[in-house]
């Protein structure tokens, strides 16, 4: 993986009580890259994102843009560094409007001038015209795809340098999945680096620059996404026929 590193993870480990969920994870995300982590259910993909986001304590070293993060669970520190996580649950405020959900995503800039917030909101609306149409509606009234867009849009309001997405395609219809992946590509074009966890290995490998396969809490394979997509072991285990 040869792009200048934005995120460097060395020998990361994490456990739940006595259960070691992740061991010896070495991983990098380069500036402006989409890096994907694929793997079966329970492999530890969500745990990895939680450890990187400071939701869970971890061992090993995490260096973000040259700054080492503490191993402690310190979400505020990671947010301040420029990391954002869109969880699988999407975790929206159902009885708040689309616009207010988005504005909440900019909480770390609450001291900045109003014009900056409006500009950020405008950028999100350009990426997701649907959200503009629905800006006054409660989040609860959105379709699954719109909720995912809102969750991503809210994360973008915090101007992350690395956006971490946990299964953004989960439960969405194929056409919507295509839309979501198109937007992920658009984010890369705008300079946001992306760490993408996906069960949809086919779509993830198609869009990513580099990929890791996580199995039983360890990196089992890695390589440029286009190469992994043609590796017979990956094809057998994750891409199926066709």
Q: Which is nearer to ligand ATP, 36 or 47 (CB)?
A: 47
x/- site string to ligand ATP, residues 34 to 63, per CB under 6 A?
A: -----x-xxxxxxx----------------
| Distance, CA of 170 to chain centre | 13
> Distance between CA atoms of 181 and 121, rounded to whole angstroms?
21
Q: Are 210 and 2 contacting, i.e. CB atoms less than 8 angstroms apart?
A: no
- Give the interface segment with ligand ATP, choosing from 13-21, 117-125, 138-146, 182-190 (CB under 6 A): 13-21
CB of 199 to ligand ATP, least distance (A): 6
Does 21 participate in binding ligand ATP (rule CB under 6 A)? Answer: yes
Distance of CA 171 to the CA centre of its chain: 16
- Scanning the structure block, which residue is given the tokens 């509606």? 137
Binds ligand ATP (CB under 6 A): choice among 19, 72, 115, 175: 19
Residue placing its CB nearer to ligand ATP in the complex, 198 or 209:
198
Token pair, residue 119, equals 């500009």
Residues belonging to the chain: 242
Q: Min. distance of Cβ 222 from ligand ATP in angstroms?
A: 16
Strands 193-198 and 210-215: unpaired
Q: Which residues bind ligand ATP (CB under 6 A)?
A: 16, 19, 21, 39, 41-47, 199
């Amino acid at each position: 993986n040869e792009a200048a590193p934005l995120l460097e993870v060395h020998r990361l480990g994490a456990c739940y009580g006595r259960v070691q969920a992740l061991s010896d994870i070495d991983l990098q995300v380069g500036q402006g890259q989409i890096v994907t982590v694929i793997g079966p259910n329970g492999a530890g993909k969500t745990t990895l994102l939680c450890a990187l986001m400071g939701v869970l304590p971890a061992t090993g070293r995490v260096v973000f843009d040259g700054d080492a993060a503490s191993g402690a669970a310190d979400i505020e520190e990671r947010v301040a560094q420029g990391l954002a996580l869109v969880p699988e649950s999407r975790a929206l405020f159902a009885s708040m409007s689309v616009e207010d959900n988005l504005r909440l995503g900019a909480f770390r800039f609450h001291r900045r001038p109003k014009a900056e917030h409006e500009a950020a909101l405008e950028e999100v609306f350009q990426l997701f015209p649907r959200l503009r149409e629905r800006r006054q509606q409660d989040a609860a009234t959105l379709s699954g795809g719109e909720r995912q867009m809102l969750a991503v849009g809210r994360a973008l309001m915090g101007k992350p340098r690395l956006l971490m997405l946990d299964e953004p395609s989960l439960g969405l219809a194929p056409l919507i999945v295509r839309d979501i992946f198109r937007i992920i590509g658009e984010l890369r074009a705008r300079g946001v680096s992306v760490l993408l966890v996906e069960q949809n290995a086919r779509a993830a490998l198609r869009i990513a620059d580099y990929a890791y396969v996580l199995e039983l809490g360890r990196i089992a394979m890695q390589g440029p996404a286009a190469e992994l997509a043609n590796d017979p072991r990956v094809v057998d285990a994750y891409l199926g026929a066709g």
